[in-house]
Chains A and B, each alone.
Chain A
Amino acid sequence: MKYFVLIAHSPTGWHEMTADEQADAMRQHGDFHRAVGSGMLAGEALADPEAATTLRHKDGQPTLTDGPFAETAEIIGGFYLIDAPDLDTLTDWCRLLPKGYSLEIRPCIDVSVPA
């Protein structure tokens, strides 16, 4: 099954970490990558929400606004797209990631888009 793992953390999380703590966090990501192995389909870290642009349509007109689409206490910091046999296996892997994260795990569904 294909899963989308959304990583959220406190807005100041990463910037307030010491260099050692950041190195620890990177090591944990490394452990995660090794555990997932060939199940890793994609994964990216995202720039801060200040860099976000949201596009919506108002009365049929596209409008761009500055910032993310939802103001939340936690910010979205990155994501993984993972192929896992089942939810239990995936959550076992996800436990390897830094403990400060909130991870939202969503199964992907098949939607056929016309060619």
Chain B
Amino acid sequence: MTADLDRIWRDEWGRLLALLVGQFRRLDLAEDALADAFEAATRTWPRDGIPANPAAWLLTAARRRAIDRIRAEAVAARKEPLLVVDARIQEEAQRAMADAGDSPAALADERLRLVFLCAHPALASEAAAALTLRLVLGVSTADLARLFLVAEPTMAARLTRARKKLALAGVPFALPTPERLAERIDVVATVAYLAFTAGYAPGSGPDVVRAELAGEAIRLTRLLRQLLQGYAAQPPTAGTLLDALLALMLLQHSRRDARVDAAGLVVLLPEQDRARWHHNEIAEALDLLGRLTDGSVTLDARATEFLLQALIAAEHARAASAAATDWPRIATLYAALERLAPSPAVRLARAVAVAEAEGAEAGLSLLEGLAAGLPRSHRLPAIRAELLMRAGRNDEARAAYDLAISLCANDAERAHLAARRAVLA
């Protein structure tokens, strides 16, 4: 029963919430009513059995709760001039009666509205990412706290602030105008990718991968693609942007099971057991990339950035073994990425690829002057140390490892660095 309810929550939460927000135009009311309906289901379904149409049951229950609350609020608002209250009750009641016409097309529009409401540029990206996963996909506050590495009360407060901001600032529950659609899809893509990378950001505790939660960002991207398909105003670049983003996330996500060993330690790419990669996800991503690179589509800068990153991940995914990796091609792709979107992080990754393709010294020369851009990162000294060791510059390598170990906050990664340094001693 719990498993059934969890599955129904996962499948139906966002859809039902979108319908309720569409009907009542109030996020707080809709969310509370739907949470109440699910709560009622956990009490009554084990006794009475799962209804034939669980979603319809939940929607009816939630609508009843919402209308009850509107009535209660109207009573509480007696201090308001009578006419105002009357007019408001009438208006809300009419909305409640007018069934939003739950046709598939209307429903897709309501869900898109919900996505654009939560992933709104008036919210900070992190808050928007958390709120979107919460409201569109029904991810729990506890899971969001885990994903974004904050305490649960902190996450709850962040979500409350975000909801309040949307209501106070007058953010509409509406589809963007056609002129704004492309930039708004861009914002959703940013929010989805932020949520995804949060799942792979090393924490300060022993928890290395919150991969399952990162997968929720993939679900969001799939949902957005699906909702936009058949949406007349969809700008031509939206499809390619989301395809490139989805390919990138699938490729990175496909390695999740091989990224940690039984003891919870990080397993770096060359040592990963490639049989444990999710090859169905890799195949799906390669198929997407094939269509993005066959010359039939045009990509904007943002989509190209995702595409280049995905093509790099695809080179790793395609290689039968670490030794078979096409490093010269990866180095070329990183150079293109750096031209398009220069950053210390991209330079660092490019240096690693160049070191593999042309030797450690070539990689080291690309690291020159990077320390200013990455002052507190343990990654830069860790990579320098590795390359110095390969170049036979052992004294410098030891010093670099010591620096990396002192900067690293993650238990598993620090253990890995200490083990590498021990090889030199």
Q: Kindly specify which of B165-173, B236-244, B390-398 makes contact with the partner chain.
A: B165-173
A63-104 vs B, CB cutoff 8 Å, 1 = contact: the mask equals 000000000000000000000111111101000000000000
- Decide if B180 touches A86 in the complex (CB within 8 Å): no
Please indicate which of the listed interface residues B168, B169, B174, B177 has the most CB atoms of chain A within 10 Å of its own CB: B169
Q: Does A1 contact B (CB under 8 A)?
A: yes
Determine the interface band of chain B, counting residues with CB < 8 A from chain A: 10 to 19
Query: How many Cβ-Cβ contacts under 8 Å join chain A to chain B?
Result: 28
- Decide if A87 touches B170 in the complex (CB within 8 Å): yes
A114 to chain B, nearest CB (A): 15
Q: Which residue of A lies closest to B173 (CB)?
A: A86
- Decide if A88 touches B169 in the complex (CB within 8 Å): no
CB contacts under 8 Å to A, within B172-211, are: 172, 174, 176-177, 180
Q: Does B399 contact A (CB under 8 A)?
A: no
- Decide if A87 touches B176 in the complex (CB within 8 Å): no
Determine the interface band of chain A, counting residues with CB < 8 A from chain B: 10 to 19
- Decide if A87 touches B177 in the complex (CB within 8 Å): no
One of B122, B170, B176 near A1 (C-beta < 8 A):
B170
- Decide if A88 touches B168 in the complex (CB within 8 Å): no
Q: Which residues of A contact B171 (CB under 8 A)?
A: 86-88
A50–B170 Cα distance when bound, in Å, is: 35
Q: A86-B174, A87-B122 are in contact. Are A92 and B169 (CB under 8 A)?
A: no
A47–B22 Cα distance when bound, in Å, is: 45
A92–B172 Cα distance when bound, in Å, is: 13
- Decide if B168 touches A107 in the complex (CB within 8 Å): yes
A94 to chain B, nearest CB (A): 12
A96 to chain B, nearest CB (A): 13
A86–B177 Cα distance when bound, in Å, is: 13
Q: Which residue of A lies closest to B172 (CB)?
A: A86
- Decide if B170 touches A107 in the complex (CB within 8 Å): yes
Q: Which residues of B contact A3 (CB under 8 A)?
A: 170
Q: Which residues of B contact A1 (CB under 8 A)?
A: 170
Q: Which residues of A contact B168 (CB under 8 A)?
A: 107, 109
CB contacts under 8 Å to A, within B142-169, are: 168-169
Q: Which residues of A contact B176 (CB under 8 A)?
A: 88
A3–B176 Cα distance when bound, in Å, is: 20
A109–B164 Cα distance when bound, in Å, is: 13
A90–B168 Cα distance when bound, in Å, is: 14
Q: Which residues of A contact B174 (CB under 8 A)?
A: 86, 88
Q: A87-B122, A92-B177 are in contact. Are A107 and B169 (CB under 8 A)?
A: yes
A109–B122 Cα distance when bound, in Å, is: 18
Please indicate which of the listed interface residues A84, A87, A88, A105 has the most CB atoms of chain B within 10 Å of its own CB: A88
- Give chain A's interface residues, CB within 8 Å of chain B: 1, 3, 84-90, 92, 105, 107, 109
Sample (6) of A-B pairs whose CB atoms are under 8 Å apart: A1-B170, A3-B170, A86-B170, A86-B172, A88-B176, A107-B170
